[in-house]
């Protein structure tokens, strides 16, 4: 039973910050103390097995990335990060828990897909992990399987209004799944884009010869996201299902969420760093085929239309509930290059699991959100949203000892050959400079990152059996 004593740092929570010391015993936080406290009747700095001086730095709960896709089959290929490489990269960036998506295609049993994902992840993860369930085929068997999965700690289910012929669900299927979710108290998640209309726009663009990555963005117009978001909200309202809209990128879609929340509906929005920093013009519009690096869905939006600034605003107001990554990485060589001459064949996804905490902290430095809100959207609210609180997402006695020591005066240069541990041959964040640095990462009491060195181990991460969402009205 090893003990770790962290002293001198500023503990930051979703509600405030204070100079406090933290005592860890084995895998748990056992005390959070006033500096110099003698409450435990011992000089902790001299008796602990490990002592960490956090003077001048922030002590925060480990980040929780509620939206990742490790080893996900998509578009004729598979996401390039395995659970081993992806969770190791997450650790480097201060994320100590991920929630990955189990994929069910039509005709498959939910229980079989979960077993397959357990096989992929078990014994391979550097940090803790949980699962959401994608329902790609809504039928009687799948609906019955939802209750079994809730009992196994998989308490959130994702549906798609996009990708006809792959994951797409009709409105009637969505209605049935929402009814079942409401009965179970499960969180229903939605990829909200009008897939049928998008397919027509894509076909028309290709026929015109508009085949470059830029047209991936224009063919998935913001109107398609706003319309689908509104439709999902109405179906959730009818069925009384709690609804979580993933990767919101368009300000108009966010306004639909805000209206529903103002009316007291259990509707929540997630956004991702790419929608806060990157744009249609600058990234998807890069010369030749470079824009393929940033092809994802929902797509990057126009900076001229102000989507990025609006999303930052909604983070400040609390209407954006969480910031995740939708980490679904593909290499340029042999993967993104599948779409040369036809943007519709580019695998959709961006790799960000390593950089989320840093990119959002830069928002603090730039005055876009508070220090407390940074912790809230990256750790505390994801823990509540996905049924892991107070085991995760907070520095308090009894919580898992998932702790990050963050230096606000440090510096992080993002890019290949710098801070890049994801299994990709490029960085979507090449050249970004961050006014802060992840110094030490502790996962369940074990130091896995320290002083620029990876000290974690394959298989340290454990499956987290989640409860129901604690963020509902």
Question: Quick one: pLDDT at residue 183?
Answer: 98
Identify the CATH number of the domain in which residue 301 sits: 3.20.20.140
Band (315; pLDDT cuts 50, 70, 90): very high
Joined tokens for residue 211: 């085949």
Average pLDDT over residues 185-205: 98
| Cβ density class 98-118: b for 16+ within 10 Å, e for less | bbbbbbbeeeeebeebbeebe
Domain that holds residue 266: 62-385
Residue 181 lies in a domain: yes
Statement: residue 247 has pLDDT above 80:
yes
Statement: residue 345 has pLDDT above 70:
yes
pLDDT digits (tens, 9 = 90+) for 334-343: 999 999 999 9
- Contact (Cβ atoms closer than 8 angstroms) between residue 213 and residue 336: no
Average pLDDT over residues 267-278: 98
Task: Give the percent of the chain with pLDDT over 70.
Answer: 99
Statement: residue 263 has pLDDT above 70:
yes
Instruction: State the Cα–Cα distance between residues 383 and 369, nearest whole angstrom.
Output: 20
pLDDT digits (tens, 9 = 90+) for 138-186: 999 999 999 999 999 999 999 999 999 899 999 999 999 999 999 999 9
Does this model's pTM top 0.85? My answer is yes
Statement: residue 322 has pLDDT above 60:
yes
- Contact (Cβ atoms closer than 8 angstroms) between residue 299 and residue 223: no
How would you class 398 by CB atoms within 10 Å of its CB: exposed for 0-12, middle for 13-18, buried for 19 or more?
Answer: exposed
Report the number of distinct structural domains present in the chain: 1
Average pLDDT taken over every residue of the chain:
96
- Contact (Cβ atoms closer than 8 angstroms) between residue 282 and residue 213: no
Instruction: State the Cα–Cα distance between residues 302 and 9, nearest whole angstrom.
Output: 40
What count of residues does the chain have?
Answer: 473
Average pLDDT over residues 301-310: 98
- Minimal CA–CA distance to 184: which of 228, 238, 239? 239
Question: Quick one: pLDDT at residue 107?
Answer: 87
- Minimal CA–CA distance to 150: which of 121, 182, 174? 182
- Contact (Cβ atoms closer than 8 angstroms) between residue 235 and residue 171: yes
Question: Quick one: pLDDT at residue 403?
Answer: 98
Quote the DSSP letter at residue 168: B
Sign of the alpha-carbon dihedral angle for 191, 197, 201, 206: positive
Question: Quick one: pLDDT at residue 75?
Answer: 84
Residue 31 lies in a domain: no
Instruction: State the Cα–Cα distance between residues 192 and 194, nearest whole angstrom.
Output: 7
Residue 25 lies in a domain: no
CA atoms within 13 A on the CB side of 40: 18
Question: Quick one: pLDDT at residue 42?
Answer: 62
pLDDT digits (tens, 9 = 90+) for 377-407: 999 999 999 999 999 999 999 999 999 999 9
Residue 396 lies in a domain: no
Question: Quick one: pLDDT at residue 39?
Answer: 62
Statement: residue 41 has pLDDT above 60:
no
How would you class 331 by CB atoms within 10 Å of its CB: exposed for 0-12, middle for 13-18, buried for 19 or more?
Answer: middle
Question: Quick one: pLDDT at residue 40?
Answer: 62
Residue 437 lies in a domain: no
Q: Where are the beta strands (DSSP E) in 301-397?
A: 320-323
Statement: residue 288 has pLDDT above 70:
yes
Task: Give the percent of the chain with pLDDT over 90.
Answer: 94
pLDDT digits (tens, 9 = 90+) for 91-145: 999 999 999 999 998 889 999 999 999 999 999 999 999 999 999 999 999 999 9
How would you class 138 by CB atoms within 10 Å of its CB: exposed for 0-12, middle for 13-18, buried for 19 or more?
Answer: buried
Residue 421 lies in a domain: no
Instruction: State the Cα–Cα distance between residues 348 and 194, nearest whole angstrom.
Output: 16
């Amino acid at each position: 039973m090893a003990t770790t004593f962290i002293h001198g740092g500023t503990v930051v929570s979703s509600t405030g910050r204070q100079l406090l010391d933290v005592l860890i015993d084995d895998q748990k936080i056992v005390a959070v103390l006033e500096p110099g406290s003698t409450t435990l009747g011992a000089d902790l700095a001299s008796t602990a097995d490990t002592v960490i001086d956090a003077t001048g730095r922030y002590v925060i709960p480990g980040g929780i990335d509620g939206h990742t896709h490790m080893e996900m089959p998509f578009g004729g290929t598979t996401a390039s990060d395995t659970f081993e490489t992806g969770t190791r990269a997450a650790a480097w960036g201060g994320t100590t828990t991920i929630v990955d998506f189990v994929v069910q295609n039509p005709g498959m049993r939910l229980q079989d897909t979960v077993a397959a994902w357990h096989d992929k992840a078990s014994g391979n993860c550097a940090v803790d992990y949980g699962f959401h369930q994608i329902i790609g085929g809504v039928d009687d068997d799948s609906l019955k399987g939802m209750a079994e999965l809730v009992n196994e700690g998989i308490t959130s289910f994702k549906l798609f209004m996009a990708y006809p012929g792959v994951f797409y669900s009709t409105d009637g299927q969505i209605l049935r799944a929402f009814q079942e979710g409401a009965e179970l108290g499960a969180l229903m998640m939605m990829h909200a884009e009008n897939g049928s209309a998008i397919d027509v726009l894509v076909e028309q663009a290709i026929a015109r010869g508009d085949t470059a990555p830029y047209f991936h963005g224009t063919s998935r117009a913001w109107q398609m996201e706003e319309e689908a978001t509104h439709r999902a909200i109405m179906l959730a309202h009818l069925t009384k299902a709690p609804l979580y809209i993933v990767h919101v990128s368009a300000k108009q879609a966010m306004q639909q969420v805000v209206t529903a929340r103002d009316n007291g509906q259990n509707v929540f929005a997630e956004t991702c760093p790419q929608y806060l920093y990157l744009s249609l013009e600058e990234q998807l519009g890069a010369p030749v085929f470079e824009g393929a690096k940033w092809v994802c869905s929902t797509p990057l939006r126009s900076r001229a239309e102000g989507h990025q600034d609006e999303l930052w605003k909604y983070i400040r107001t609390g209407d954006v509930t969480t910031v995740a990554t939708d980490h679904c990485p593909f290499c340029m060589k042999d993967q993104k290059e599948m779409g040369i001459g036809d943007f519709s064949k580019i695998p959709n996804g961006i790799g960000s699991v390593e950089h989320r905490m840093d990119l959002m902290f830069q928002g603090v430095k730039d005055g876009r959100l508070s220090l407390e809100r940074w912790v809230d959207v990256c750790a505390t609210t994801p823990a509540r949203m996905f049924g892991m609180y107070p085991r995760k997402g907070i520095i308090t006695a009894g919580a898992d000892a998932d702790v990050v020591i963050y230096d606000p005066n440090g510096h992080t240069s993002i890019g290949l050959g710098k801070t890049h541990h994801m299994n990709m041959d490029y960085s979507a964040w090449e050249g970004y400079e961050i006014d802060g640095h992840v110094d030490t990462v502790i996962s369940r009491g074990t130091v896995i990152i320290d002083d620029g060195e990876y000290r974690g181990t394959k298989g340290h991460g454990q499956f987290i059996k989640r409860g129901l969402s604690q963020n509902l009205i």
